[in-house]
Structure 1
């Protein structure tokens, strides 16, 4: 058993079967079908941890409450696992994009600061004295068009 498993509570098959009012053979079936993966002792005794119990509760809710068959349970659990992995990947991507944006904004701030420092006061005065042409008023036509 790993260190994390050693610190976690584990239950033998009889205790789990009694707790959830199911036959131990049902737990063995779920394991054969790949729906549960309990750890084992050196003597090959099944030990169910908290994650196994959560998985079992999901299986029982699907079968008992929703009437899903074993094939459906397997599909749902596989989809759930894939969705969780995809969510982790999306979270990592969002964190990466956020980091890149923050770094990019820092670069732009640095560039703007550098650009402003390099501009001479004369350049700034010239730039502020240049006025853009006024747009034509509503209803007026541009002078380039001929009037009839």
Structure 2
């Protein structure tokens, strides 16, 4: 009877965007072969940082993205072209959400400015004349 391979879970806490894992460690954390990581980099699915000597350094964000890619390919049955499209759409959605938040902030600021300008005008006015009253 063959021995069963048990999976070990390793938890590492690092700054999420900082490249700290060499390719062998990142591959193990993502449960992939290092060559798969190189292929994903060639396709533009992942862009690890580089050390001054050119060694690939993967961040926790990179490892999370690798796991997400693996989930899409194995569990959802997407091919890499589909994964590329999903990731591109997610990036567009994130950019649109950021832009919406910025516009909402600008709108709130404009409202505050208008309210600040309207209050002094209403205090100095003694009567309001509607356009329909003037004939």
- Common topology (TM > 0.5): yes
TM-score in terms of structure 1 length:
0.70
TM superposition shift of 1:46: 0.6
Q: Which structure exhibits the higher relative contact order, with contacts defined as CA atoms closer than 8 Å and separated by 6 or more residues?
A: 2
**Structure 1 runs of 4+ with >4 Å offset:** none
Corresponding position: 1:13 with 2:23: yes
Structure 2 gaps of 5+ residues are: 1-14, 128-135
Structure ID, larger Rg = 1
Residue of 34, 39, 45 corresponding to 2:49: 39
TM-score by length of 2: 0.77
Indicate yes or no: 2:105 matched with 1:105: no
What CA RMSD, in Å, does the superposition of the two structures yield over aligned residues?
A: 1.7
* In 1, Cα distance between equivalents of 2:96 and 2:20: 29
How far off is 1:106 after superposition? 1.5
**Higher relative helix content:** 1
Paired residues in the alignment total 112
